[in-house]
Structure 1
Amino acid sequence: MTDTKNHSAAGVPGSLEGRVFQPASFAELAEAVEQAFDYRGDVTVSLKSGESLSGYLFNRQVSGSDSYLEVFPSDSSAARRIRYDHIAAIAFTGEDTATGKSWETWIAKKDSERRAEVDRVAAEAKTRGIL
């Protein structure tokens, strides 16, 4: 699968944001669609007809020649179904809202908050003469 990185400032290390996938086979396309399905931002689907559709990929069905994906377009309230065999490329164009929100980051933040609370309570206790 050809992966072209967008080297603009919008590209985020460790994220698919700004990347473009031009699959060369059905398996590569299915993999790109799975990544787009898990992505927490808008994608742009380029069709072989030359049309492009930007929006949030919310569903996909892999069943051979009947495979399709479904997108909520950015400019419409109606969902759109696109057959896999009509897709030329998938670009991760929207902001990746999940970037930096890993479990490890959350644990570190909570640990820091707990330590700050312990320090605050200890300082308050010292002020009252309890400690």
Structure 2
Amino acid sequence: MTDTKNHISGVGACSLEGRVFRPTSAAETAEAVEMAFDYRGDVTLSLTSGESIVGYLFNRQVADADSSIEIFPADNPAPRRIPYDAIATIAFTGEDTANGKSWEIWVSKKESERLAEAERVEAAARTSGYL
């Protein structure tokens, strides 16, 4: 699968944002679809018919020759079903809203918030004469 690796400046190295995948086999298409499914931003699909669809990929059905994706197009509230074999390219064009928001960062932030709250409660207790 060809990956243009056209990163948008300022985007983390782990993000797919700005990348374009041009699968050359069914296996590569399936791999690119899995990455798009896990992506937390819009993708742009270029279809073999020449049509281009921008939207959020929210589902995929893997069934050998009948595999397909479902996407919420940005310009239409109704979801569309697209067969895997109709996909020519998948571009990760929308902002990766999950970029830089790892579990470890979340845990660290929550721990800092808990410590700050404990210090606030302790200071209030000392002021009130309880400690």
TM-score, normalising length from structure 2?
0.90
- Counterpart code for 1:125: A
8 Å CA contact retained: 1:12, 1:18: no
Q: Which moved more, 1:95-104 or 1:52-61?
A: 95-104
SS of residue matched to 1:59 = strand
In structure 2, how many angstroms separate the alpha carbons of the residues matched to 1:112 and 1:126? 21
**Correspondence 1:113 to 2:124:** no
Q: Tell me, which stretches of 5 or more residues in structure 1 are unaligned?
A: none
Between the two proteins, the alignment pairs up a number of residues equal to: 131
Is residue 47–residue 86 contact of structure 1 (8 Å, CA) maintained in 2? yes
Do the aligned residues in 2 keep the contact of 1:37 with 1:60 (CA within 8 Å)? yes
- Percent identity between the two aligned chains: 68
Superposed displacement of residue 57, structure 1: 0.7
Indicate the SS of the match to 1:5: coil
- 1:108 Cα offset (Å): 0.4
Q: SS of the residue aligned with 1:82?
A: strand
- Residues 1-131 of structure 1 mapped to structure 2, 5 A cutoff: 1-9=1-9, 11-131=11-131
**Superposition RMSD in Å:** 1.6
Structure 2 unaligned blocks of 5 or more: none
Distance, in Å, in 2 between the alignment partners of 1:67 and 1:127 is 65
Distance 1:10 1:55, change over 3 A: farther
